[in-house]
């Protein structure tokens, strides 16, 4: 059994179709730029960004280590 309705709103089944509330499917602008499910075309860009960040962190760590030695 479902959960009780705490706000006591009326629950109805909408069986009648109201022509004013019908959504028409249209083409989405720029939809071709969005990745599809399982699409890996941006994988190279992500690897480049994360790789650059990793190299930057290593360079900063070695710079701090060198500074502490002097």
Q: What is the pLDDT of residues 13-40, one digit of tens each?
A: 666 777 777 777 777 777 777 767 776 6
Task: Determine the pLDDT at residue 13.
Answer: 67
Task: Determine the pLDDT at residue 30.
Answer: 75
pLDDT above 90 covers a percentage of the chain that reads 23
φ, ψ dihedrals at 9, nearest 5°: -80, 145
Q: Which residue has the higher pLDDT, 52 or 29?
A: 52
41-62 burial: b if 16+ Cβ within 10 Å, else e: eeeeeeeeeeeeeeeeeeeeee
């Amino acid at each position: 059994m479902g959960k009780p309705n705490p706000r006591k709103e009326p629950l109805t089944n909408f069986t009648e179709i109201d022509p004013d509330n019908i959504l028409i499917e249209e083409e989405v602008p720029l939809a071709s730029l969005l990745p599809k499910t399982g699409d890996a075309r941006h994988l190279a860009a992500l690897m480049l960004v994360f790789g650059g960040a990793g190299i930057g962190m290593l360079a900063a760590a070695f710079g701090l280590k060198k500074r502490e030695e002097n």
